[in-house]
Structure 1
Amino acid sequence: MDERTSEDDDKVKCAMLLSSYEFLTSVYDITRAIFRHLPIRSVDSCSLVCQSWAHMSRLTKSHRQTIHALTYPSNPLSSTTICSNKIDDFDQFIISYINNHLWSIPTFALVVSTNILANKGFYSSPNSPPPSKHSEAGNLTRITTRFDVSQALQRHLNKSCKILMIAADGIIASTENNQSNEIQSNDAIGILFLPHFAPEILGVYPFEVPSSAQISSDMSRSELHRFLGSVPNDVPIRCVIFFFVQRQSNAVDCIKKLLEHYPSEIAIIGSFVDQINYDDRQIHPTRISCDACGIVITGDKKRLHIGEILLESDIRTREQISDKFKKLKYLDTNEYLSFAIQISCIARGEDYYNDENVECSEFRKLFPNTPLIGVFGNGELGHDFLPNSNQKITKQQTGKDLFRGYSSVFTLISLHL
C-alpha cells in the first residue's frame, strides 16, 4: 500500500524540476564558456545550429571588444621571407587570420603599406608573375585582375567596416603577438582592426578632406564636427590623426580650428605621406580625390586616456627615448585596452639607427601588450600632450608649433572598459 501523500508527490516533482533546471543551467553555462573561447567566425557558424545558440552567439559578440593588429607577411624582416603579390596567397593569409584569431567584428581598419607593395598591388594569375616592361604581349592576357591593397582586404570584411589605407616610404606594424617592426626596404602591410564602441566611450570617426574643400575662418564647432567625420556635436573630440598628401592642403586649416575650439584639450598627430585611400562603401561606392584624410577619436575622459610624446631631433639614444616613453606610463596600459600610433620622419629610419628597430622596440619594452602602427613620412605633426599626469605640459600649441621635422611622435590611446 502506497503511503505517500499528495504533499510527498509535490516534493518529488519539485525536486525533479529543480534537477532539470540545474542541469539545463549547467549546460547553458558550459556552452557559454565554450563560446567565450571561440574566434568570431566560429561563433557565427554556431549561430546557425539552433535558436538557443543563435541567442548565445549574439550575446557573445555583443561583449567582444578586442583590438587586433597583424602584419603581412607575418615576418617581413626575415631574410627568407618573400612577400607574395598573388591575391590567392593574400586571401589565404587573411582567411586564416579571421578564422583562427579574429576575436571581435571590426568596424574600422587602419591599413599602412610600404610604397613598394602599394604600387604593385595584388594580382590574380594562375600561372605567371605580373608582367614586366619586357614581357611579351601574349603574356599580358594571363593577368586577369589587379587589386589595390584596400580592394584586396575589403573582400574579406563586412560592408560596414570602413578602411583607411596609407602608403609611405616606411611603416610600423605589429603582429598578433604584439611584435612590432619598422619596415622600409621590404614589401609589407600593417593592419589595425578596431571594433565598435559607443561614441561616449571610444568613438572612431574616419574622415576625408576633398581637394575642393574650403575651411571658413568662422567655422563653428558643430560645423567642424560635421566636416571631420560627422562627429556628434555633444561628443567632445579628444584626438585627431591626420594624413596629408599635399603640403598646401586646405585640411591644414582644420588644425587651427581644432586648437581654437579645443585649446590645450586635444592630441593632434599626423604625417605627410605618398598615398591615401578611404573606403566607406556605405556612403559612396566610388572614391573621390582628396588632399587629406584621418581619424577623429572621442570618448569620456574618465574612461578614455590619451597621451602623446614628441621625440625631437636631439633625442637619439636609447636612454633618451626610454626616458621620454616613461612619461606615458601613468596610463597603466596593462589594465586597459589600448593601441598606439607612431609617426616618424623617414630620416629616423633604418639608416639612422644602423638597421635597428630602436624606437618601436623601446616602446615595446614599456608597453608589451599594446598594438603599435604607424608610418615614416616626409614631415610630422605632433606635440607633447600629457593630461592627468604629474608631468609638466608644454605651453599651449599653435598650428605652426605642431609641424616638425626629423622627429617621431607617439600617441597612446588607452580605454578602461
Structure 2
Amino acid sequence: MDGNTDFSGVSDECTAEYILSNVAEVVERILTFVPTKSLLQIACVCRLWMNCARRVLRVQQKLTWVSASGPSNYDGHALCHSLAEEVENVYLLPKTVLVMVDSETFSGQDSSHKQKKARKTHHSPDSVEELNRLFPNGCDIMAIATPGVVLTPSGSHSGPPKEFQEGEAGYAIMFPRMEGVDIRPFHFCKRTISESHLEEAGLVNNPDLRVVLLFGYEAYKPGAARFLNQVLEPLARSKALIAGGHVENVFSPERECCGRGSYGVVGLALSGPRIQGASVLLEQDVSSPKAAEATIRRLKAANLPERNTLGFMFACVGRGHNYYNNQRNVEADTFRKVFPNIPLFGFFGNGEIGCDRIVKEDYTLCDTDTDSLQHGYTTVMTLVHLG
C-alpha cells in the first residue's frame, strides 16, 4: 500500500472496500483461512481475487484426509457420508485421491472366508458416481475395497490410528498438486501389460521413481501370480520402495479393459526428488507387542521428516488381534508410540508386498528380487515423505 494514502474523513466501510479491492497482500492473507471449495467461488469475483486465490492454492500443499467408521445411520457407506460433509471444508485442491473401504459392508462379501452373508451392502454404480461427484473434474480417484481397514481419525495427525478387521470403515487421502512431486495412478490387466505401458506409468526407465504403492486384485485366479511378476520384476531392480498387497476389489476407476473377475494391479507411482521413503517387514515370527515395536523402530534409521509424511500398514488378514493373543490394535498402537505425529493408513489383505528398504538421497537400499517382495502372514510398515 502507498504510504502516502490518506484515509482521513473516509468511513471504515469505504476503507475496507478499498483494501479488499486493491491490496493483494491483505486479500491473500485472508484467503488462506477459506476452504478450497469456497476459494474457487471467490476467485470469480474479480481479477485481483482470482490471482490471490491461485497463489494460495499453489502453496496449500499439506496432505489431508477424511476417515469414518460405522455403522452408518445413513444410506450409503459411512465414508461417503463423511466425505459429503467434510470435503467442502478441506484446504487443498485434490489432484489424486486414494480411497480404501471395507469389503464386508461395501461389497457384501466376507473376504476372509469367501462366504456370502446377509448384511447391508453399499457397492453400487450410484455410490461410485457419488464418490466421483465429490471431487473436482480431472481429479484421479483410486478406490479400493479390502477385508479390513487401518485409519487415523479425521482432523489430527497425532490422533490414535485404529485397526478395523470387521465392521464399516474407510478413508480418503487427498493429495494436492505438489511442486517436485509427480503422483501417477496406474492400472494393468493381462490385456494392457506391456513395456511401453509400464514406461508410460513411470514404473520403468524413470530415474526419478521413488515409491510405488501397488495393489493386486483377484490374485488367486490362475495366471495372476505370473502376471504380478511381470510388474514386480522391473520394480525389484529399480531404486524405488515398493509396498502394498492384495485387495478384494477395485471399484474406481472402472475397469473397462477387462471383464468382471479378471485379475490385475492398480497403484500409485510417486516420482520426484523431494520424495523419500522407508519400509520394514514384520515377519511371521513377529507375534508380540515387544517384537513389533523392535521392528517398527528400525524405521527410525531413515530419519525422515514428520511433516508431510504418511504411514502405511499393509497387513495380512490373518494377523491383527488373532495374531497377538486377542490383543487389539497392537501394530497401529506401536506405530503411534514410535511416530506420534505421523498419521497411519492401510488395510488387512490377502497377501503383502514389500521388504526392508530405505529410499533417501544417498539411496541406502536392500537388495531384493520378486520372491522376497511377496509374503503371507506378515505386515509391511511404510513411511512416505512428500517433501
Range of TM-score over shorter length: 0.7 to 0.9
Given that residues 316 and 377 in structure 2 are in contact (C-alpha distance below 8 angstroms), is that contact kept between their aligned partners in structure 1? yes
Distance 2:197 2:188 in 1: 14
Q: For structure 1, list consecutive stretches of 5 or more residues without a partner in the other structure.
A: 1-13, 77-81, 122-131, 134-144
TM-score after normalising by structure 1: 0.75
Q: What aligned pairs does 1:109-258 form with structure 2 within 5 A after superposition?
A: 109-120=97-108, 146-147=124-125, 149-176=127-154, 177-178=156-157, 179=159, 180-198=161-179, 201-215=180-194, 219=195, 224-226=198-200, 229=201, 235-244=207-216, 245-247=218-220, 248-249=223-224, 250-258=227-235
Distance 1:343 1:111 in 2: 14
Match of 2:49 in 1: 53
Distance 1:44 1:189 in 2: 27
Given that residues 209 and 251 in structure 1 are in contact (C-alpha distance below 8 angstroms), is that contact kept between their aligned partners in structure 2? no
Match of 1:38 in 2: 34
Residue 239 and residue 92 in structure 1: after superposition, are their counterparts in 2 closer, same or farther (change >3 A)? closer
Match of 1:5 in 2: none
Q: 1:266 aligns with which of 210, 221, 240?
A: 240
Given that residues 111 and 191 in structure 1 are in contact (C-alpha distance below 8 angstroms), is that contact kept between their aligned partners in structure 2? yes
Q: Give, as a single letter, the amino acid of the residue that structure 2 aligns with 1:224.
A: L
Match of 1:297 in 2: 270
Cα shift at 1:48: 2.9
Match of 1:398 in 2: 369
Match of 2:87 in 1: 98
Match of 1:67 in 2: 63
Match of 2:114 in 1: none
Given that residues 327 and 391 in structure 1 are in contact (C-alpha distance below 8 angstroms), is that contact kept between their aligned partners in structure 2? no
Q: What aligned pairs does 1:308-387 form with structure 2 within 5 A after superposition?
A: 308-333=279-304, 335-353=306-324, 354-387=326-359
Cα shift at 1:32: 2.1
Secondary structure of the residue aligned to 1:151 is helix
1:238-295 CA-to-partner distances (Å, cap 9, x unmatched) read 22222112243213211112224x2xx2211221221123428xxx9x5744522111
Residue 400 and residue 16 in structure 1: after superposition, are their counterparts in 2 closer, same or farther (change >3 A)? closer
Farther-moved stretch of structure 1 (359-368 vs 105-114): 359-368
Cα shift at 1:231: 6.2
Farther-moved stretch of structure 1 (357-366 vs 82-91): 82-91
Secondary structure of the residue aligned to 2:322 is coil
Given that residues 331 and 414 in structure 1 are in contact (C-alpha distance below 8 angstroms), is that contact kept between their aligned partners in structure 2? no
Q: Give, as a single letter, the amino acid of the residue that structure 2 aligns with 1:116.
A: E
Farther-moved stretch of structure 1 (45-54 vs 159-168): 45-54
TM-score after normalising by structure 2: 0.80
1:305-363 CA-to-partner distances (Å, cap 9, x unmatched) read 11111111111222222222222224555553111221101111232232511111211
Secondary structure of the residue aligned to 1:45 is helix
Q: For structure 2, list consecutive stretches of 5 or more residues without a partner in the other structure.
A: 9-14, 110-116
Residue 103 and residue 331 in structure 1: after superposition, are their counterparts in 2 closer, same or farther (change >3 A)? farther
Larger radius of gyration: 1
Distance 1:205 1:387 in 2: 18
Secondary structure of the residue aligned to 1:350 is helix
Distance 2:40 2:56 in 1: 10
Cα shift at 1:237: 1.7
Cα shift at 1:406: 1.0
Cα shift at 1:368: 2.8
Distance 1:231 1:28 in 2: 42
Distance 2:370 2:78 in 1: 44
